[in-house]
A and B are shown apart, each in its own frame.
Chain A
Amino acid sequence: MARKPFILRNPSVLVVLAVLAVFTVIVTLMSQAYGTGAIPTSMVKVLGKTLCLALAAVAMDLVWGYLGILSLGQMAFFALGGYMIGQWLMYARTETIVAASMANNPIPPTPNELQQAVASQIFGVVGAADLPLLWSFAHSLTAQLVLMVAVPGLLALIFGWLAFRSRVNGVYLSILTQAMTLALALWLFQNDSGFRGNNGLSGLQNIPGLEHVAQARLSVWFLWASATVLALCYLLAAWLVSGKFGSVIRAIRDDETRVRFLGYPVEGFKLVVFTLAAMITAIAGALYYPQAGIINPAELAPIASIYLAVWVAIGGRGRLYGAMIGAIVVSLLSSWFTGGRAPDLHLPGYTVSWVDWWQVVLGLSFVLVTLFAPKGIAGIFDWLGGAVSPRRQGKDLGPGEGSLTEQEAQA
């Protein structure tokens, strides 16, 4: 039987890619560098960063929505990707600056002296003068690009192998991923771990070799890069979950034991998805932090990863465009409300300042979404398409998880 092409089986992919393309073109045409200038450069950066967050959310959806692992450590991979690319950005830029200043010396510096000067420039803030071992490849963009994917991938592989092998799952696994993130954050916070402690890496918005390009232009380039990578990864993820592989991982989500008894290597499937998602998240991070300009260990706070889960849940997990929508809508709304740009709400007797109350609203709306709209925003598309799942809100008729509820039994 001839199968329909992948795209035709998943029309949503086409829609998402088209929307993404249109969005990118519109932003480009309204940017300061290439168009009318209606969107300021800072806003272009925010949009570019949001696309990166959407990419991280897509990866999160792979792990949570499809595989059923609520990983509270995704931001660890995100930040690791940022740190890896940040090493090169910071080293290469400092090297050009130091080399320029040393060129005035009567005696030209030896490579060793140059490296020493760069190291003391970068690590002076944490009281160190030598280049840590972890920065051995910082001078090479290629090496750091490889590390950017390899380090988070390896971490996910080792952690996942250890955890899945001993059948840690459910809530335990969530807590364990959170612990991993916390451990990594605490380690990075130390001055002697080699990543400048809580100063983090800064000045990442200046791309070495592109000093002559204005930030207005760079921001649009980064938007293009983010949109392209998002599109590619989205395609990859959609292809992955559409075939037999996708069926297996969804089956693992719904009943892991049954899949194992059917003869599938459950641990292997989990490991592949978990590692792949970590790598995608790392790429998202590597694109995000040059736009943000600075990265520090606070980015790895356990709460950041939980927010990622919140976005995916609000957007609608178990479908990739849901995760994207959730990340884009909630993160943009959050930055609008907490940025102080939202007008205060004047109630009789009390003025609601959104900077103070947005978190409360977010938290409560999150509870409401979980309770009443488990499909999230993406559920609206189901509703529009007329696909509504049966309501299961009656009392359980029996203790088992699969038992019918009262209303279903009557129907």
Chain B
Amino acid sequence: MTRPHALLRHLPALIFVLALLATALPATANTALEQIVTNNLEQIQRPSRRTVQPLIAQIAATGPEGLAFLSAWANRNLGLTDDGQLLITSGKTTTDAITGQVVTGAEPKMLRPNSGVRGLIESALVAGEIASPDMARRAAALDSMARSSSAEHLVALRDAPPETDPALAARRARLEKLLTIRFDDDSAARIAAIQDMSGDVGLDFRAALNPLLATHRIVATSAPADQNIARELTPGRDDFSRDTAYDILKSEGVAQARLTPTAQRDTLAAHLQDGAVAGVPVAELSTTVGRDRAYEALEAAGTVSPAATDAEADDAIDAHRYFDVYNEPDSDVTDAARAAQRAAETRLMAMKGVDLGLDALSLASIYFLAAIGLAITFGVMRVINMAHGEFIMMGAYTAYVVQTMIPDRTGSLIIALPAAFIVTFLAGVLLERLVIRHLAKRPLETLLATFGVSIALQQLAKNIFGTQARPLTAPKWLEGAITINDVISISTIRVAIFALALLFLGLFLFIMKKTRLGLEVRAVTQNPGMAASMGINPDRIAMMTFGLGSGIAGIAGVAIGLFAQVTSELGQNYIVQSFMTVVVGGVGNIWGTLAGAGLIGILSKVIESFNPSNTLAAQTFMILFIVIFIQFRPRGIIPQKGRAAEV
């Protein structure tokens, strides 16, 4: 088979010139194409895979019309009329294949080239595309080859002119290696390509390796010499049970079926006569012993063929050897592929670890945001606010309302954050003044009273906004994900939440350490009586603290609403985790909350990664872990010290 090197090498220039011609003279037919087609009409009608190659190359070289012609031919859209006119049909319109003019009333006989010819045409088409002066078309050609590739593509890729764009060149080199691994006949080239790409974690590379390493299971009495053996299996070990081994023997026809209880019962039922089977009355067949007796009687009478006993089955299993055999015959190639796969797996594990870390970090920052307000109020006032989750929900609904009023996504988000803070701050202050202040020193009752507020608020939200989820759309620049490779990626919104969590950590530290309010809050936390004696108004501090904690919950609500649906149950889903974060971390210390959120975030993700399909189990283990953790550190990771801890 000759390859039209020269033609293809000059193809870009040729196409360029022809394209110029085509644009300059739109109405003029492509004469080169017309000539080639007229001269080879016979071969176009009945192409042969062995001889059609030069013709295809000639047609491809005639420019865009030639490529359109080829594509119609390959797609079986090319037809021939009785008077020798070639027509292209696409949908309902029919055009002349050479002039491109619309033809009506013709009834062409469609040409049906066989798959071999179509493969040749398609690779010629891709080759034409890959050499196209238009970068977008070259990129599209690479994409299409990556999606569905064939051996012809490899040839086309190798013959194509060098790529000028560095990014595309890298992609093309990678694709060529992948195609070499899959289609090249030369083992050495394949091994070289595999070793070259070893350690790559791309999905495409792993997909290219998989067919090389595919195995099938064979059974033999001795090791087969002419096969590329992956491994020998020992029945009863390594996920290869003796039953599986026997099943293989059965399917190979080497052994006969063992007697299953169902088969035994059916056989007995088939030989039921006058309320007895072989002399054993039916009533006695309700036990295994009775059934065995009846079956043996049938065997003795010769009515049924004896079934394989367990001992026979064991003998048959032990008499054979079992192998996993590669479909790929060349052992050098499979060895290289296996080594490459192992390297890829190692790197993949590391990358999955990194990805898991990112996930855990983002989860931790969500928990941190949700719990920080709870930690403040609990730390300062010893009050568990069960309505905290509803403040989160309130923040999310505030953002939703703002979004309905301001259509610009970025603008609405910028307004929503302070709006949510103000709304929940006021709600928090209100709750503190009306309820919590009057229940001072009665923490359990505060817990219940705030729970009353929580169910009232939840139902109120349901009454106002309905039960269906309200969407909170993130601005464009927060959509999408930051993708580092096939494994590591993190959605932008989670990065933003992480940043938000960091911001609030900083803000909180600033307020606590650098402002008058923070000083007073710390004083009240450590000793309310003494703080009151020093002229600090503990009531005002409690109110401000509660407002601040609730306000941060509102902001957390906006953040959570951006990636979760806003429903009246939004807060409820986070409240237990928030409690856990506070309890695990230890109260009265922002670093404790941070540690608690980090621990819970990482742990949830790690447990989840063991069994990704079962998140329920992950949560169960998570909570169990926390319950046990509390045994050893009852006051959290960073316990509160000093007199305040004694209360």
Residues of A within 8 A of B (CB): 64, 68, 70, 105-113, 159, 162-163, 165-168, 170-172, 174-176, 178-180, 182-183, 186-187, 189-190, 302-303, 306, 309-310, 313, 356-360, 362-367, 370-371, 374, 398-401
Cβ-based interface call for B576 (8 A): yes
Query: Contacts A68-B444, A175-B580, A303-B455 given; 16 further ones with Cβ under 8 A?
Result: A107-B265, A109-B286, A171-B443, A172-B630, A176-B627, A183-B627, A187-B616, A190-B614, A190-B617, A310-B448, A360-B459, A363-B451, A363-B453, A364-B452, A366-B449, A371-B438
Question: A360–B568 Cα gap in the complex (Å)?
Answer: 13
Q: What 0/1 pattern do residues 563 to 574 of B give for CB contact below 8 A with A?
A: 000000000000
Kindly state the separation between the CA atoms of A357 and B628 in the bound complex, as whole angstroms: 40
Q: Which residue of A lies closest to B441 (CB)?
A: A401
User: Which chain A positions have C-beta within 8 A of B612?
Assistant: none
> Digit string of B101-115 for contact with A (CB within 8 Å is 1, else 0)?
000000000000000
B291 / chain A contacts, CB cutoff of 8 Å: 107, 110
Provide the residues of chain A in CB contact with B282, threshold 8 Å: 106-108
Q: Is the CB of A357 within 8 A of B627?
A: no
* 9 nearest CB pairs, A to B: A399-B529, A363-B456, A366-B452, A359-B459, A183-B623, A108-B286, A363-B455, A370-B449, A367-B452
CB-based contact A182/B445 at 8 Å: no
How many Å lie between the Cα of A176 and that of B631 in the bound state? 11
In angstroms, Cα B382 to Cα A325, docked, is 31
User: What is the CB-to-nearest-CB distance from A314 to chain B, in angstroms, rounded to a whole number?
Assistant: 10
Contacting B583 at CB < 8 Å: which of A175, A189, A358, A366? Answer: A175
Tell whether, in the assembled complex, residue A360 and residue B460 are in contact, meaning their CB atoms are under 8 Å apart: yes
Query: Which residues 613-634 of B have a CB within 8 angstroms of A?
Result: 614, 616-617, 619-620, 623-624, 626-628, 630-632, 634
A308 to B628, CA, bound (A): 26
Check if A179 sits within 8 Å of B627, measured CB to CB.
Answer: yes
Residue of B382, B386, B449 with most chain A CB atoms under a 10 A cut-off: B449
Interface string of B448-467 (1 = CB under 8 A from A): 11011111111110110000
* Shortest distance from the beta carbon of A305 to any chain B beta carbon, whole Å: 11
Q: Give the CA-CA distance A233 to B349 in the complex, in Å.
A: 58
Interface residue? B426 (CB, 8 A): no
Q: Which of B261, B532, B616, B630 has the most CB of A within 10 A?
A: B616
Say how far A403's CB is from chain B's closest CB, in angstroms.
10
Is chain B's binding surface mostly helix, strand, loop or mixed?
Answer: helix
B509 at the interface (CB under 8 A from A): no
Number of chain B residues whose Cβ lies closer than 8 Å to a Cβ of chain A: 62
Return chain B residues, CB-CB under 8 Å to A110: 261, 286-288, 291
Residues of A within 8 A of B445 (CB): 313, 370, 374
Given the complex, which residues of A lie within 8 Å of B455, measured CB to CB?
Answer: 303, 359-360, 362-363, 366
Bound form: Cα–Cα A313–B261 in Å:
60
Report the minimal beta-carbon distance from B532 to chain A, rounded to whole angstroms: 7
Residues A166 and B634 in contact in the complex (CB < 8 Å), given A359-B455, A359-B459:
yes
Q: Which residues of B contact A190 (CB under 8 A)?
A: 614, 616-617, 620
**Bound complex: CA of A176 vs CA of B268, how far in Å?**
59
Cβ contact within 8 Å between A371 and B449: yes
Given contacts A108-B282, A359-B455, A189 and B630 within 8 Å (CB-CB): no
For A371, the closest partner residue in chain B by CB is B438
**Chain B residue contacts of A109, Cβ below 8 A:** 286
Check A367 against B449 for contact (C-beta < 8 Å): yes
> Which single member of A167, A175, A356 contacts B462 (CB below 8 Å)?
A356
A127 to chain B, nearest CB (A): 13
A residues within 8 A CB of B439? 370-371
Tell me if A359 and B447 are in contact (CB < 8 A). no
CA distance A174 to B450 in the complex (A): 14
The 19 listed contacts between A and B (C-beta, < 8 Å) are A106-B272, A106-B282, A107-B265, A107-B291, A108-B283, A111-B287, A113-B261, A163-B630, A171-B444, A176-B630, A178-B579, A310-B452, A313-B445, A360-B459, A360-B460, A363-B455, A366-B448, A366-B449, A399-B532
Q: Which residue of B lies closest to A359 (CB)?
A: B459
Residue contact B459 to A179, C-beta cutoff 8 Å: no
**Which of A107, A168, A363 contacts B630, CB < 8 Å?**
A168
What's the least CB distance linking B389 to chain A, in Å? 11
With CB as the reference atom, state the residue of chain A lying closest to B444.
A70
Chain A residues within 8 Å of B576, by CB? 178-179, 182, 302
Chain B residues contacting A366 (CB-CB under 8 Å) are 448-449, 451-452, 455
Q: Which one of B272, B435, B444, B631 contacts A367 once the chains associate, using CB atoms below 8 Å?
A: B435
Which of chain B's residues have a CB closer than 8 A to the CB of A189? 616
Known contacts A183-B620, A363-B452; is-contact A170 B444 (Cβ 8 Å): yes
When distances are taken between beta carbons in the complex, the residues of chain B under 8 Å from A357 are 459, 463
- Complexed CA–CA distance, A310 and B459 (Å): 17
Residues of B within 8 A of A363 (CB): 451-457, 459
Q: Which of A398, A399, A401 has the most CB of B within 10 A?
A: A399
Q: How far is the CB of B14 from chain A (nearest CB, A)?
A: 63
B residues in contact with A112, CB < 8 Å: 261, 288
Taken together as a complex, chains A and B put the C-alpha atoms of A374 and B583 apart, in Å, by: 28
A110, A168, A190, A362, most chain B CB atoms within 10 A: A110
Closest residue to B270 on the A side, CB-wise? A106
Q: Tell me whether B423 is interfacial, beta carbon within 8 Å.
A: no
Central interface residue in A183, A302, A356, by most chain B CB within 10 Å:
A183
Chain A proximity of B381: nearest CB distance (Å) = 11
CB <8 Å contact, B631 and A162: yes
Which residues of A lie under 8 Å from residue B631 when comparing CB positions?
Answer: 162-163, 165-166
Complex Cα gap A183–B627 (Å):
10
User: What 1/0 flags go to B430-448 for Cβ under 8 Å of A?
Assistant: 0000010011010111011
A267 to chain B, nearest CB (A): 13
Pick from A70, A167, A175, A399: contact of B579, CB under 8 Å: A175
Taking A183-B623, A183-B624 as contacts, is the C-beta distance between A371 and B435 under 8 angstroms?
yes
